[in-house]
Amino acid sequence: MALLIAGEFPDINMEKVIKMCLIHDFGEAITGDIPSFWKTQQDEEKEDVAITDLLKRLPNDIATDFTELFKEMAQLKTNEAKLFKALDKMEALVSHNESPLETWLELEYTENQIYGIEEAAHSDYLMKLREELKKDTIHKITKETVNGK
């Protein structure tokens, strides 16, 4: 997603955002991808430990660079970190909307319509993208409910 929307954010270092997205996935490569709506603080901490462990195994210069980016991601103070976090939330929605409706829990019908709004709120573009994802969710629910799925 970061690659696809890079042109919408000319003042943001998209190389940094893409690195953040990849670093975030390091943890999930070890712990598995826990569904967003079920992820607990304990799961987040487990992912953080996995990322930290993997970063230590990299060559020193890369480990230092990635560790600094990982800290920046956690602090959510820079525009790059905020964009990464919003994209992380929205990617979960895209994936979720692609999964069969019969796999959804009851809470997901509502959660998929509100998840990630706070993280997208700092950008008009992201809010428009978030609204499109909500429309996609509503369309999926309506279409599959009408078709009896």
* DSSP category for residue 37: T
Burial of 127 (0-12, 13-18, 19+ CB in 10 A): middle
Q: Which residue range(s) make up the domain with 9?
A: 2-146
Number of domains in the chain: 1
The pLDDT of residue 115 is 93
Q: What is the pTM of this model?
A: 0.90
The pLDDT of residue 109 is 92
Asked if 19 and 66 count as a contact pair (C-beta separation under 8 A), the reply is yes
The pLDDT of residue 38 is 75
Write the CATH number for 132.
1.10.3210.10
In order along its 149 residues, the chain shows pLDDT tens digits of: 999 999 999 999 999 999 999 999 898 888 887 777 778 889 889 999 999 999 999 999 999 999 999 999 999 999 999 999 999 999 989 988 999 999 888 888 999 999 999 999 999 999 999 999 999 999 999 987 666 55
99 φψ region: left (φ > 0), alpha (ψ -120 to 50), beta (else) = beta
